[in-house]
Chains A and B, each alone.
Chain A
Amino acid sequence: MEKTILDVQNLRIRYGGSTTEAVRGVSFTLGRERLGIVGESGSGKSTVGRALLRLLPGATITADMLRFDDVDLLSLSEKEMLKIRGRRMSMILQDPKFSLNPIRRVGDQVAETYLRHFQCSRREAHEKAVAMLEAVKIRDAERVFKQYPHEISGGMGQRVMIAMMLLADPDLVIADEPTSALDVTVRLQVLTILDGLVRDRGIGLIMISHDLNLVRNFCDRVLIMYAGKVVETLKAGDLDQARHPYTQGLLAAQPRIGGTRQPLAVLDRKPEWLEENA
């Protein structure tokens, strides 16, 4: 955790045509660690992730600081951003199938990621792509390589996105719900791969997830977002000691194996939560 990879201070984002800010003053730093972001649906998690990669056309982004390594992300031209996006900083988007080109074979798109960032022959890129699809536990990778996005399952789509990210070999990965469509066995295998990147290659990893078990067991720290703000930051292992009523409400709303099957606890959202800041 020595080195700071990302430094975000007072990040604010307003979508074009909107009168209110979707993100209202978010601050955090990221080292060589696994940082979880959980929070209310619509609280601005994906918006923060996309802002880091400047993938928000039409939106107004301001911040006191938005620094990646030694780069000031706010002052970068689009041309300079192109060199960073995908290659040094990569995002696994929440809707995998929507992010793929529907009329091109899945494998070609994976191979292309490699070709775009590294010098090699088409054949080499093809081999790399197949090997990476196998690494993320896709059965029958050669067959899947030739399929179109609408022909693959939800969990295969997520793993295709992860394979593309892995091939680019970035220093910072923002993973937006990367494993929600995976069965638990495959999910644990994919998480082990991501874990290895942080431990062996020293990358920084931001995991946006609704899966409380995942952030508790797999992340180092967790930010909890509510209505565009960070309301609480916790060591992942201390998640159960959360103090903010939103976080406590999340933990209470989780169905559990062997539970009573009575209606689940629901949150009583308080207007004053909107104004809190951690």
Chain B
Amino acid sequence: MSVSVEVRNLSISFGAGASAVKVLPGVSFSVERGECFGLVGESGSGKSTVLRCVSLLTDFWKGEVLIDGRSVRDMPLIERCRTLQMVFQDPYGSLHPRQSVRTVLNEPLVIHKLGDREERIRRAITDVGLPVSFLDRFPHQLSGGQRQRVAIARALILEPSLLLLDEPTSALDVSVQAEILNLLQRLRNERGFTYIMVTHDLAVVDHMCDRFAVMLRGEVTEILPHEAIAVNGASHPYARELIGASLEYEGIR
């Protein structure tokens, strides 16, 4: 169960008339089956917007998004949800305040008519390192990192082939981050999951991704293999600057 992704000339504007702003002028990249593809770049450059367009959460874009060669727009909703899931940057906003963790995890199983629900729910919550007793809590009773782990568990519970991850571990301490990254890597090895992962941490990119794109003001400046980070092998000036700053931040120079 592995899918490829092809994004061709994806463009989108927000607002109408004179105040319209072109956020993505035309983004293209492709992700192979089972690949982990990183999206990094300037804050506000459009990384989350790209993920929202690919998942059709935002649908008024132009261009093409092909999943295994088929337009994402041609996939029926149910099939789309089984194929791709997204983990949002903002875990508070993405969980319903009056739904317990159990409801959050159970709902997709009901919608998709999957059996062994209790078993699946317990495995999902344990996989992200939370105790089963947390199933009866509500989002406001969780810490920031605990909410993020619930969001990850919700995305994993349908076992999608493509996961769109928006800063999945930036709210987690590095020991929990290590557990989540190991889990994502294991799922990729075992089931061939494909990932598109937004992060500001180039160490995470180097650890997880095969290739990554560097974005600036809505455009992909350069696509690089992960090995280019340690040696700062970028040629676009912004990509060079960003990698250089990250190496300095890590104390490597």
- Contact partner of B175 (CB less than 8 A), chosen from A40, A152, A258, is A40
A15 to B138, CA, bound (A): 13
Please tell me if the beta carbons of B177 and A154 are within 8 angstroms of each other in the complex.
no
Please tell me if the beta carbons of B230 and A257 are within 8 angstroms of each other in the complex.
yes
Residues of chain A with a CB closer than 8 A to B127's CB: none
Most buried by B among A40, A154, A155: A154
Instruction: Decide if A97 is an interface residue (CB 8 Å cutoff).
Output: yes
Q: Which residues of chain B from 160 to 218 have any CB-CB distance to chain A below 8 Å in the complex?
A: 166-167, 170-179, 181-182, 185-186, 200-204, 206-208, 217
Residues of chain A with a CB closer than 8 A to B177's CB: 210, 253, 255, 264
Instruction: Decide if B76 is an interface residue (CB 8 Å cutoff).
Output: no
Taking residues whose C-beta sits less than 8 angstroms from the other chain, chain B's interface range is 35 or more
Please tell me if the beta carbons of B200 and A181 are within 8 angstroms of each other in the complex.
yes
Instruction: Decide if B93 is an interface residue (CB 8 Å cutoff).
Output: yes
Please tell me if the beta carbons of B171 and A94 are within 8 angstroms of each other in the complex.
yes
Residues of chain A with a CB closer than 8 A to B14's CB: 151
Residues of chain B with a CB closer than 8 A to A258's CB: 206, 229-230, 252
Please tell me if the beta carbons of A264 and B203 are within 8 angstroms of each other in the complex.
no
A84 to B167, CA, bound (A): 34
Please tell me if the beta carbons of B42 and A188 are within 8 angstroms of each other in the complex.
no
Please tell me if the beta carbons of A253 and B43 are within 8 angstroms of each other in the complex.
no
Please tell me if the beta carbons of B175 and A183 are within 8 angstroms of each other in the complex.
no
Please tell me if the beta carbons of A255 and B48 are within 8 angstroms of each other in the complex.
no
Within the complex, the shortest CB–CB distance from B113 to chain A, in Å, comes to 32
Please tell me if the beta carbons of B247 and A181 are within 8 angstroms of each other in the complex.
no
Residues of chain A with a CB closer than 8 A to B241's CB: 185
Residues of chain B with a CB closer than 8 A to A216's CB: 251
Among B66-74, B103-111, B115-123, B141-149, the one that faces the other chain is B141-149
Within the complex, the shortest CB–CB distance from A265 to chain B, in Å, comes to 7
Residues of chain B with a CB closer than 8 A to A159's CB: 43
Q: Which residues of chain A from 97 to 132 have any CB-CB distance to chain B below 8 Å in the complex?
A: 97-98
Residues of chain B with a CB closer than 8 A to A261's CB: 206-207
Residues of chain A with a CB closer than 8 A to B167's CB: 154, 180-181
Instruction: Decide if A41 is an interface residue (CB 8 Å cutoff).
Output: yes
Please tell me if the beta carbons of B242 and A184 are within 8 angstroms of each other in the complex.
yes
Which B-chain residue is minimally distant from A38 (CB atoms)? Answer: B173
A277 to B206, CA, bound (A): 36
Please tell me if the beta carbons of A255 and B207 are within 8 angstroms of each other in the complex.
yes
Instruction: Decide if A42 is an interface residue (CB 8 Å cutoff).
Output: yes
- Contact partner of A264 (CB less than 8 A), chosen from B170, B182, B245, is B182
Contact with B along A46-65 (1 / 0, CB 8 A): 10000000000000000000
Please tell me if the beta carbons of A263 and B245 are within 8 angstroms of each other in the complex.
no
A41-B172, A42-B145, A154-B90 are contacts. A186–B42 as well, Cβ < 8 Å? yes
A156 to B49, CA, bound (A): 14
Taking residues whose C-beta sits less than 8 angstroms from the other chain, chain A's interface range is 35 or more
Q: Which residues of chain A from 51 to 102 have any CB-CB distance to chain B below 8 Å in the complex?
A: 94-95, 97-98
Instruction: Decide if B89 is an interface residue (CB 8 Å cutoff).
Output: yes
Contact with B along A157-196 (1 / 0, CB 8 A): 1010000000000000000010011111111100000000
A210 to B242, CA, bound (A): 21
Which A-chain residue is minimally distant from B246 (CB atoms)? Answer: A184
Instruction: Decide if B132 is an interface residue (CB 8 Å cutoff).
Output: no
Please tell me if the beta carbons of A183 and B207 are within 8 angstroms of each other in the complex.
no
Within the complex, the shortest CB–CB distance from A185 to chain B, in Å, comes to 5
Within the complex, the shortest CB–CB distance from B199 to chain A, in Å, comes to 10
A182 to B235, CA, bound (A): 23
Most buried by A among B167, B178, B230: B178
Please tell me if the beta carbons of A213 and B43 are within 8 angstroms of each other in the complex.
no
Instruction: Decide if B77 is an interface residue (CB 8 Å cutoff).
Output: no
Contact with A along B228-253 (1 / 0, CB 8 A): 01100000000001100111011110
A216 to B248, CA, bound (A): 13
Q: Which 4 A-B pairs have the closest CB atoms?
A: A155-B43, A41-B145, A264-B178, A258-B230
Residues of B within 8 A of A (CB): 14, 21, 40-44, 48, 89-93, 141-146, 149, 166-167, 170-179, 181-182, 185-186, 200-204, 206-208, 217, 229-230, 241-242, 245-247, 249-252
Instruction: Given A185-B42, A257-B246, output 6 extra A-B contacts at Cβ < 8 Å.
Output: A15-B141, A40-B173, A40-B175, A210-B170, A257-B202, A266-B175
